[in-house]
Amino acid sequence: MLIIGAGPTGLFAVFEAGLLKLKCHLIDALPQPGGQCSEIYPKKPIYDIPGFPEVLAGDLVNNLMEQIKPFEPGFTLGERAETIEKLEDGSFVVITSRGTKHNAPVVVIAGGLGSFEPRKPPITNIANYEDKGVAYIIREPEFYRGKKVVIAGGGDSALDWSIFLSDIAEEVTLVHRRNDFRGALDSVEKVSELSKIGKINLVTEAEVVGLQGEDHLESVVIRHKGEASDEEIKETDYFIPLFGLSPKLGPIANWGLEIEKNAIKVDNSYDYQTNIPGIYAIGDVNTYRGKLKLILCGFHEAAIMCQSAYQRIFPDKKYVMKYTTVSGVNGFDGSKKEAKREVVKSIN
């Protein structure tokens, strides 16, 4: 199976496919696997993964990578799937942004939010400071230890990261256009508490409108609501606008798939297949009545999809589902040979 998207859903699909002895190859536009978990919030704890009362998003990805190791999936990272073509034998050829061609009887789109781009504030010279003090994603909070940070935004990311960095950074300033925030109420309350004790410098009804500095960002210009002349210059090492991601399906939107509200419509009464037989869509990228964009749901969809994909690839074979407690996790030929060698070694 060719899986487009190596987020948690795509990774877990490799495991479910592996149990059915289906070999997988994953393509992802990002340079590392893990999707949103790795790219947006690797150090944030997740609380709704069954069996894990709390797990960091980055650790969940590491565990998924460990779990699929026996099935030896192939990875093409840092390349975006651009085009798809159906061949006469019913299989598909997918070509990436770097021209790599992949051929498989089944294509599984686990593309999440699509090729996501951060929403950038309309500050004319912002591009000059990208990676020189301006970041749109916090990959490693420790990077900001002892530094001055200005965060902008009114949603969960801006609130949560302000709270988190208030223990790490020398100074955290949160700038938001309005007095009320869009994020979770308890995060709003926490920010307000931290502001009262001076751990977060909260600036509302204001916007960052300018950036200054020679080779690296040195200060931001904050404009307060009302008079255009009501501006202050705030010294800072980093400016992190967290205005969310603009979800774009990217090239997948032109593949002839039925799209609704920027997501791919699938048959959830059966197997998460799209309107094109042989192309499935699982995880955040799909939509159906009652859809929940949760990791848990992507895992479930992956398991159901694999059963249908197996029947499509091997129409004459009957598969009887076995519990992993009974079947174990047998890899492909390579790992089986290794296992045999181990046995021989231990007998000798």
Ligand X SMILES: Cc1cc2nc3c(=O)[nH]c(=O)nc-3n(C[C@H](O)[C@H](O)[C@H](O)COP(=O)(O)OP(=O)(O)OC[C@H]3O[C@@H](n4cnc5c(N)ncnc54)[C@H](O)[C@@H]3O)c2cc1C
**Site residues (CB under 6 A) for ligand X?**
4-10, 27-30, 35-37, 40-41, 46, 48, 80-81, 110-115, 157, 250-252, 283-285, 293-296, 298
How many residues are there in the chain? 348
Give least dist CB 155 to ligand X, A.
Answer: 9
Q: Which residue shows structure tokens 């894990």?
A: 52
Rank residues 168 and 209 by Cβ distance to ligand X and give the closer one: 168
> What is the DSSP-derived secondary structure letter of residue 42?
T
Chain-centre distance for alpha carbon 159: 19
Upper half-sphere CA count for residue 250 (Cβ side, 13 Å): 20
User: Is residue 224 a contact partner of residue 205, using CB atoms and an 8 Å limit?
Assistant: yes
CA pair distance 26, 74, nearest whole angstrom: 6
Q: How far is the CB of 285 from ligand X (least distance, A)?
A: 6
**8 or 133: CB nearest ligand X:** 8
Give 64 or 134: the residue with its C-beta nearer to ligand X: 64
Q: Burial, 298: exposed, middle or buried (Cβ in 10 Å; 0-12, 13-18, 19+)?
A: buried
Pairing mode, strands 263-265 and 259-260: antiparallel
- Residue 35 or 213: which CB sits closer to ligand X? 35
Q: Nearest distance from residue 275's CB to ligand X, in Å?
A: 18
Are the C-beta atoms of residues 336 and 73 closer than 8 Å to each other? no
Give min distance, CB of 137 to ligand X, in A: 10
> In terms of CB distance, is 156 or 171 closer to ligand X?
156
The alpha carbon dihedral of 154, 158, 160, 163 has a sign of negative
Q: What is the 8-class DSSP label of residue 121?
A: P
Report, in Å, the least distance between residue 26 CB and ligand X: 9
Of 9 and 273, the one with the shorter C-beta distance to ligand X is: 9
Nearest residue to ligand X by CB is 112
Angstrom distance (rounded) from CA 87 to CA 105: 10
Token digits of residue 79: 């390349």
Which is nearest to 11 in space by CA: 32, 33, 31, 41?
Answer: 33
Q: Rounded to the nearest whole angstrom, what is the least distance from the CB of residue 322 to ligand X in the complex?
A: 26
Which lies closer to ligand X via its Cβ, residue 202 or residue 294?
294
